[in-house]
Chain A
Amino acid sequence: MTPRAQSDATTPYQSDKELKDGIAQLYDQSSGIWLDIWGEDMHHGYYPTPDFRDHQAAQRLMIEKSLEYAYKKPFPQFAGKKMVDVGCGVGGSSRYIVKKYGGSAEGLSLSPYQVQRANAFSAKVNLSHALHYQVADAMNMPFPNNSFDLTWSMESGEHMPDKKRFVNELFRVTKPDGRIIIVTWCHRELRPGETKLASWELKLLNKISTVYYLPAWVPASDYVKLVTDMGLQDVRSEDWSTYVLPFWPAVIRSALVPTNFIKMLRSGMMTIKGAIASMWMREGLRKGVIKFVIITAHKK
């Protein structure tokens, strides 16, 4: 096990096994209700303006904007190409990409329930031939080196306990001339003279980590450094926190709708705590502690 970073205070979880079991359980338990309320995607929406209110469109826009940022031009036709959806949820983003641009996708999640739902969604849109989801570990991916043209991690990086190993795996499975896209939650950069976050910030992140089964938080610069050190090219990163701000208030409002509230109560404690944590996420984003970041790089 690698020595833990100084920002350990942002998580109560020191054991990888505890994390992985928790992650699997969290998504097994809460995916169902999330899907009922929010549809097929389980990532932040991208809200181009503060008054943008079409939440499902925002989720699609998040995917499009990520591709646009990474490729700097309209995403090419993907026919004959392969992508991997690392931490795939129920496959929303890979299903969207393959449906629109062609190609095929392998996806992985620690949650058997999510994989089951992902496969069911694929069948519903007649894309079972092109979309394959399995239970697997992103830190130890069951794919040979140089397998994928696009390595896609949409909001799963925050679950990875060893960022270096995670980035190494992303690099390993990407084909030469392939691209990596990571969209993830980080904490703010430390200011000159600071050695760690303020104690109220650490406390807030720790609370969120407890509920969402997250390991220690890192700043975006950690990812940029890891990716650069690995020899990847055209490494770019951008802070998209402004564009996701309307998301958590929307999540909170939807949780309070009576029918949803009852469903949530029935889903169990993990789900209820998850809903409460959504208020902490909103606070963290508004106060600038939490940053929503995209990082991309090209493998020569």
Chain B
Amino acid sequence: MRLLTHNSLKCPVKGVAKGYPLQLTIVDMEVDETEVKPDFIRGILPSLEWEGVLVAAAAVGFDGLPESWDTSLLDDRDFILAMHRLLIDIHIVEGVLTCPETGRTFPIKGGIVDMVLPESDV
């Protein structure tokens, strides 16, 4: 699971007030450095949940991101590179996502996250 995906997810439990960003506990992760795609990164930046980006960065020990972002950063090559590495090149192979509100957990196994709730919670 990439951290860009983490940024899109919320807890699906009914009645939850917000349910994101999900807390991220990493058991196993891989880094696969790929060719940076600056246009793609610039394209997705405005729709990112910045709070979620910070949660993800903290979980992988990625320091140095600003507390908030602004459009001037779109021209900052180092920033674009950092965002690509963080959101695209890091793969969570095994771990757990936890809802900050309900404590509900969702496993990540073999790089795939399972967000399905048991019937009793639907």
Interface residues of A (CB under 8 A from B): 16-17, 20, 79-82, 102-104, 106, 108, 110, 112, 115-116, 119, 128-130, 132-137, 139-144, 147
A103 contacts across to B, CB distance below 8 A = 43
B117 contacts A140, CB within 8 Å? yes
B12 contacts across to A, CB distance below 8 A = 136-137, 140-142
25 A-B residue pairs with Cβ-Cβ distance under 8 Å, sorted by A, are A80-B47, A82-B44, A82-B47, A102-B43, A104-B4, A104-B40, A108-B115, A112-B112, A116-B110, A128-B2, A129-B4, A129-B40, A130-B40, A132-B4, A134-B113, A135-B114, A136-B12, A136-B114, A137-B115, A137-B117, A140-B14, A141-B12, A142-B115, A143-B10, A144-B20
Bound form: Cα–Cα A253–B116 in Å: 36
B14 contacts across to A, CB distance below 8 A = 140
Bound form: Cα–Cα A81–B47 in Å: 9
A79 contacts B39, CB within 8 Å? yes
B8 contacts A147, CB within 8 Å? yes
Contact size class for B?
35 or more
Bound form: Cα–Cα A129–B49 in Å: 17
B119 contacts across to A, CB distance below 8 A = 16-17
A134 contacts B20, CB within 8 Å? no
B34 contacts across to A, CB distance below 8 A = 129
Summed over the interface, the residue pairs from A and B with CB atoms below 8 Å come to a total of 90
Q: How far is the CB of B84 from chain A (nearest CB, A)?
A: 8
B111 at the interface (CB under 8 A from A): yes
| Closest 7 pairs (CB-CB, A-B) | A80-B43, A142-B115, A136-B115, A132-B5, A135-B114, A140-B12, A142-B12
B46 contacts across to A, CB distance below 8 A = 80
A134 contacts B122, CB within 8 Å? no
B11 contacts across to A, CB distance below 8 A = 142
Bound form: Cα–Cα A85–B106 in Å: 20
B24 at the interface (CB under 8 A from A): no
B9 contacts across to A, CB distance below 8 A = 134, 142-143
Bound form: Cα–Cα A147–B39 in Å: 20
A128 contacts across to B, CB distance below 8 A = 2, 88
B112 contacts A116, CB within 8 Å? yes
B18 contacts across to A, CB distance below 8 A = 144
Produce 1/0 per residue, B77-88, CB < 8 A to A: 000000000001
Given A82-B47, A104-B44, A130-B40, A110:B116 Cβ within 8 A: yes
